[in-house]
Structure 1
Amino acid sequence: MQVIATAGHVDHGKSSLVTALTGMQPDRWEEERRRGLTIDLGFAWTTLPGGRTVAVVDVPGHERFVGNMLAGVGSVPAALVVVAADDGWSAQTAEHVAVLDALGVRDALLVVTKSDLADPAPVLADVRARLAETSLGDVPGVAASSRTGDGVPAVAAALEELLAGLPAPDTTAPVRLWVDRTFTIRGAGTVVTGTLAAGTVRTGDRLALAGRDVVVRGLQSLGQPVEAARATARVALNLRGVAVEDISRGDALLTPDAFRSTGELDVVLVHPAQRLPAELVVHVGSATVAARVRPLDDATVRLRLGGPLPLRVGDRLLLRDPGTRTVHGADVADVDPPELRRRGAARVRAADLTAGWDADADLARRQVVLRSEFVAMGWPVPSGATEVGRWLLAPGLADELAARVPAVVARYRQLRPLEPGPPTAVLRSALELPDAELVAGLVRPPLALRDGRVVATDSGLPEPVQRAVTGVLARLAVEPFAAPDTEALAAAGLGPRELAAAVRDGQLVRIADGVVLAPGVEDRARRALAAVPQPFTLSQARQAWGTSRRVAVPLAEWLDARGVTERLPDATRRLR
Structure 2
Amino acid sequence: MLVVATAGHVDHGKSTLVRALTGMEPDRWAEEHRRGMTIDLGFAWTALPSGRTVAFVDVPGHERFVSNMLAGVGPVPAAVMVVAADAGWMPQSAEHLAALDALGVGYGLLVVTRADLADPAEALAEARAELAATPLRDVEAVTVSAVTGAGLPQLRAALDRLADRMPAPAPDGAVRFWIDRCFTVRGSGTVVTGTLGAGRLRVGDELELAGSDEPVRIRGLHRLGVGCGEAVPVARVAVNLRGVARERIGRGDALLTPGRFRVTDVVDVRLTGVPVAELPLTLTLHIGSAAVPVRVRPLGADTARLRLGRALPLLVGDRAVLRDPGRRYVAGGVTVLDVVPPPLTRRGAAAARAAVLATLDGRPDAAGELRRRGLARVTDLVTAGVPVTVDPVAGEWLADPHHWQRLGDRLTRAVTEYARTNPLAAGAPVEHLRRQLDLPDRALVEALVRPPLRLVAGRVVAPGTAALPEPVARALALVSEDFAAHPFRAPDADRLAAVGLGTREIGAAVRAGALLRLTGNVVLLPGAPQQAVRVLTGLPQPFTLSAARQALDTTRRVAVPLLELLDQRGLTRRLPDDARVVVD
The TM-score, its normalising length taken from structure 1, stands at 0.83
Equivalent position of 1:206 in the other structure: 207
> Which residue in 1 is equivalent to 2:438?
432
The equivalent residue for 1:216 is 217
SS in 1 for 2:108: strand
How far the C-alpha of 1:564 sits from its partner, in A, is 5.5
Which residue does 2:179 correspond to in 1?
179
Which stretch of structure 1 is more off in the superposition, 163-172 or 433-442? 433-442
Q: Secondary structure at the match of 1:158?
A: helix
Match of 1:332 among 336, 339, 363: 336
| Deviation for aligned residue 1:517 | 5.8
Q: Which residue of 2 aligns with 1:162?
A: 162
Could you say what secondary structure the match of 2:323 adopts?
A: strand
User: Cα offset for 1:207?
Assistant: 0.4
* Aligned residue in 1 for 2:69: 69
Matched with 1:243 is 245
Residue 464 (structure 1) aligns with: 471
Output the CA distance in 2 between the equivalents of 1:416 and 1:511: 25
> Contact (CA 8 Å) 1:59, 1:72: kept in 2 or not?
yes
Match of 1:309 in 2: 312
| CA positional deviation for 1:38 | 0.9
Deviations 1:159-182 (A, max 9, x none): 222112211223343332222112
Structure 2 counterpart of 1:502, from 494, 500, 509:
509
Query: Would you say the 8 A contact 2:276–2:303 is kept in 1?
Result: no
Q: Hey, what's the Cα distance between the residues in 1 that align with 2:561 and 2:304?
A: 73
Alignment of 1:470-489 (within 5 A): 470=477, 482-487=487-492
Contact 2:535 2:552 in 1 (8 A): no
Whether contact under 8 Å (2:199, 2:232) holds in the other structure is yes
Q: Distance in 1 between matches of 2:160 and 2:571?
A: 79
Shift of 1:91: 3.1
SS in 2 for 1:191: strand
Shift of 1:109: 1.9
- TM normalised by structure 2 equals 0.82
SS in 1 for 2:179: strand
Q: Which amino acid aligns with 1:235?
A: V
- Return closer, same or farther for 1:474/1:275 CA change in 2, 3 Å cut-off: closer
Q: Is the 8 A contact 1:264 1:337 kept in 2?
A: no
Aligned: 1:234 with 2:240? no
> Does the 8 A contact of 2:285 with 2:323 survive in 1?
yes
Deviations 1:4-57 (A, max 9, x none): 111123333322332333332221111222333111011223343423233221
How much does 1:288 deviate?
A: 1.6
The equivalent of 1:452 in structure 2 is 458
Instruction: Give the Cα–Cα distance (whole angstroms) in 2 for the partners of residues 341 and 557 of structure 1.
Output: 57
State the alpha-carbon separation in 1 of the partners of residues 260 and 38 from structure 2: 35
CA contact (8 A) 1:277 1:321 kept: no
Tell me what 1:423 maps to. 429
Which residue matches 1:372? 379
User: In structure 2, the residue corresponding to 1:280 is in which secondary structure?
Assistant: strand
* Alignment check: 8 A CA contact 2:196 2:234 kept: yes
Query: Post-superposition shift, 1:318?
Result: 1.2
Match of 2:269 in 1: 267
RMSD, matched Cα: 4.0
Answer whether contact 1:294 1:301 (CA < 8 A) is retained.
yes
Q: Percent identity?
A: 53
Q: 1:506 to 1:225 in 2, by over 3 A?
A: farther
Q: After superposition, where does 1:23-42 map in structure 2 within 5 Å?
A: 23-42=23-42
Would the aligned equivalents of 1:386 and 1:398 in 2 still touch at CA under 8 Å?
A: no
Are the counterparts in 1 of residues 273 and 331 from structure 2 also a CA contact under 8 Å? no
SS of residue in 2 equivalent to 1:155: helix
Partner of 1:402: 408
**Structure 1 pair 68–427 and aligned structure 2 pair: CA distance change class (3 A):** same
Alpha-carbon distance between aligned partners in 2 of 1:290 and 1:167, rounded to the nearest angstrom? 32
User: Is 1:561 paired with 2:563?
Assistant: no
Q: Secondary structure at the match of 2:322?
A: strand
C-alpha distance in structure 1 between counterparts of 2:247 and 2:532, whole Å:
74
SS of structure 2 residue aligned to 1:51: coil
CA distance in 1: counterparts of 2:226 and 2:535, whole angstroms: 79
SS in 2 for 1:404: helix
Please name the residue that 1:136 is paired with: 136
Cα distance in 2 between the residues matched to 1:55 and 1:328: 28
Residue-by-residue CA offset, 1:238-272 (whole Å, 9 max, x unaligned): 34444322333222333445444444433223356
Corresponding residue number in structure 1 for 2:57: 57
- CA displacement at 1:106 relative to structure 2: 0.9
- Indicate conservation of the 8 Å contact 1:9/1:83, yes or no: yes
Residue segments in structure 1 that go unaligned for 5+ positions in a row: none
Matches of 1:184 and 1:324 in 2, distance apart?
32
| CA gap 1:504/1:272 in 2 versus in 1, 3 angstroms | same
Q: Look up the SS of the partner of 1:69 in the other structure.
A: helix
The unaligned stretches of length 5 or more in structure 2 are none
1:527–1:165 Cα change, 3 Å: farther
Q: Partners of 1:347 and 1:553 in 2: how far apart?
A: 68
Q: d(CA) in 1 for partners of 2:535 and 2:232?
A: 72
Q: Shift in Å at residue 475 of structure 1?
A: 8.2
| Cα displacement (A) at 1:103 | 1.6
Preserved CA contact (<8 Å) 2:279 2:331: no
Quick one: which amino acid aligns to residue 357 of structure 2? L
For 2:451, the aligned partner's letter is P
CA contact (8 A) 2:574 2:580 kept: yes
Does structure 2 retain, via aligned residues, the 8 Å contact 1:267–1:331?
Answer: yes
- TM-fit CA distance, 1:509: 4.3
| Cα distance in 2 between the residues matched to 1:566 and 1:188 | 67
CA contact (8 A) 1:128 1:139 kept: no
- Alpha-carbon deviation of 1:119? 5.1
Change in CA separation of 1:156 and 1:363 when aligned onto 2, cut-off 3 Å: same
Q: CA deviation at 1:390?
A: 3.9
Aligned-residue offset at 1:135: 0.8
CA contact (8 A) 2:315 2:336 kept: yes
CA offsets per residue over residues 195-217 of structure 1, 9 Å max, x none? 22223334331304324323124
Mapped contact 2:211–2:311 kept (Cα < 8 A): no
